[in-house]
């Protein structure tokens, strides 16, 4: 059965904000067909397929599966309805120009911690190519086909935490996931219910709880805070590109994390919002060097 919802946001909205949940162009949980975004989502009530498009100023959504009611209820939150950018009023002219160009970003939240944490752990300290390949393998081998039009779209849902806990060590190697990342992910899956209950807690407490787990650091916690919690202060320090791209957008030269931390300090609790604003306005710096090659010593 197909469930539908039409929602008219009281602010300017681009569905492009949903792309933060796509992990590489081949992400099996995300399909962008023409102007419609399709996501395979594991909700607290089971798997769901969510399809979203804009028509005029309205968001038209359809959903299938046991989690269909849940995802339609959460749709405004996913699209930034819970985010109020009050107090975000930068005075620097470069930032004012960015706001005039792209507007003040609203940040969505899914309320799904493991959905954000699983790919984030797989992206730790490896090339994007290697991370996305491992994530695709995990979803296709141990996830499930998304409900409704999932077969037609080749759309899948991430594996549940009990499934992740049951994957043997040799199977992770076949997916090109090294022991450090697989151990971190299995450890997180063992306390998945507790992690899901962090939604709604202050950002610093969320980070403390996440980073108390072996193998999870500041960068990974920030990736989860941004997507699952919609935290406007979360910044992915330690990312290979973020500080460089922000520095390039502001000054024409790449920065390091220390310089970025110093620059962002006066903008608490909107540091992540400011980074999002600059990346939307200026994009990524030109990249002319050779791409990092993925590792080749793991088992096929």
pLDDT, position 59 = 98
What average pLDDT does the structure give for the chain? 94
Tracing tokens 């996305």 back to the chain, one arrives at: 132
Give the per-residue pLDDT at 218: 97
Alpha-helical regions (H) of 60-199 = 68-78, 93-102, 113-122, 128-142, 150-153, 161-166, 169-174, 179-190, 192-196
pLDDT at 283: 83
What pLDDT score does 128 carry? 84
Average pLDDT (203-207) is 97
Average pLDDT over residues 212-239: 97
pLDDT of residue 174: 95
Residue 203, pLDDT score: 96
- Residue 125's pLDDT band, with cuts at 50, 70 and 90, is confident
Q: How confident is the model at residue 278 (pLDDT cuts 50, 70, 90)?
A: very high
Taking 80 as the threshold, does the pLDDT of residue 290 lie above it? no
Nearest to 279 by CA among 27, 20, 39, 49: 20
pLDDT at position 289 is: 53
Q: Which has more confidence, 287 or 233?
A: 233
Per cent of the chain over pLDDT 90 is: 90
Band (pLDDT 50/70/90 cuts) for residue 146 is very high
Q: Which two tokens stand for residue 40?
A: 């395979």
Q: What is the pLDDT of residues 59-107, one digit of tens each?
A: 999 999 999 999 999 999 999 999 989 999 999 999 999 999 999 999 9
Residue 89 tokens read as 């009023």
Higher pLDDT, 290 or 167: 167
| Best CA proximity match to 189, nearest among 215, 227, 170 | 215
**Does the structure show a pLDDT above 70 at 47?**
yes
At 224 the pLDDT is 98
Q: How far apart are CA 275 and CA 253, in angstroms?
A: 16
Domains of the chain: 3-227 (1.10.340.30)
- Average pLDDT, integer, range 170-197: 97
pLDDT band per the 50, 70, 90 thresholds, residue 300? very low
Whether the CB-CB separation of 133 and 22 falls below 8 Å is answered with no
Q: Spell out a b/e string for 74-101, using b for 16 or more CB atoms within 10 Å of the CB, else e.
A: bbbebbbbebebeebebeeeebeebeee
Say whether pLDDT at 282 is over 80: yes
Which pLDDT belongs to residue 285?
78
Q: What are phi and psi of 239, to 5 degrees?
A: -70, 145
The SS3 call for residue 32 is: strand
Contact (Cβ atoms closer than 8 angstroms) between residue 7 and residue 78 = no
Using DSSP's 3-state secondary structure scheme, residue 37 falls into strand
Q: Quick check: 292 pLDDT over 50?
A: no
CA distance 118 to 161: 9
Tracing tokens 């970025």 back to the chain, one arrives at 260
Q: Give me the phi and psi of 52, to 5 degrees please.
A: -135, 140
Distances, alpha carbon 40 to alpha carbons 149, 207, 296, in Å: 10, 26, 30
């Amino acid at each position: 059965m197909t469930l539908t919802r039409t929602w008219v946001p009281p602010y300017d909205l681009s569905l492009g904000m949903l792309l933060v949940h796509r992990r590489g162009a081949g992400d099996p949980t995300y399909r962008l067909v023409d102007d419609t975004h399709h996501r395979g989502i594991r909700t607290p009530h089971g798997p769901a397929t969510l399809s979203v498009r804009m028509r005029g100023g309205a968001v038209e959504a359809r959903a299938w599966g046991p989690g269909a009611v849940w995802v339609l209820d959460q749709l405004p939150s996913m699209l930034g309805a819970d985010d109020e950018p009050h107090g975000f009023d930068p005075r620097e002219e470069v930032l004012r120009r960015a706001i005039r160009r792209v507007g003040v970003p609203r940040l969505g939240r899914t309320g799904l911690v493991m959905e954000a944490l699983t790919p984030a752990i797989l992206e730790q300290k490896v090339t994007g190519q290697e991370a996305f390949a491992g994530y695709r393998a995990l979803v296709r081998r141990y996830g499930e086909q998304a409900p409704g039009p999932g077969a037609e779209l080749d759309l899948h849902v991430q594996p549940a935490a009990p499934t992740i806990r049951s994957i043997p060590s040799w199977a992770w190697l076949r997916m090109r996931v090294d022991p450090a990342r697989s151990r971190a992910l299995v450890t997180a899956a063992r306390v998945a219910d507790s992690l899901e209950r962090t939604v709604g807690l202050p950002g610093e407490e969320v980070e403390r709880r996440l980073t108390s787990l072996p193998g999870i650091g500041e960068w990974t916690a920030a990736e989860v805070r941004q997507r699952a919690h919609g935290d406007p202060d979360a910044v992915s320090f330690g990312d290979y590109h973020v500080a460089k791209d922000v520095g390039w957008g502001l000054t024409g030269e790449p920065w390091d994390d220390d310089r970025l931390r110093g620059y962002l300090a006066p903008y608490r609790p909107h540091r992540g919002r400011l980074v999002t604003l600059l990346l939307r306005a200026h994009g990524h710096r030109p990249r002319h060097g050779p791409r990092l090659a993925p590792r080749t010593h793991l088992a096929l």
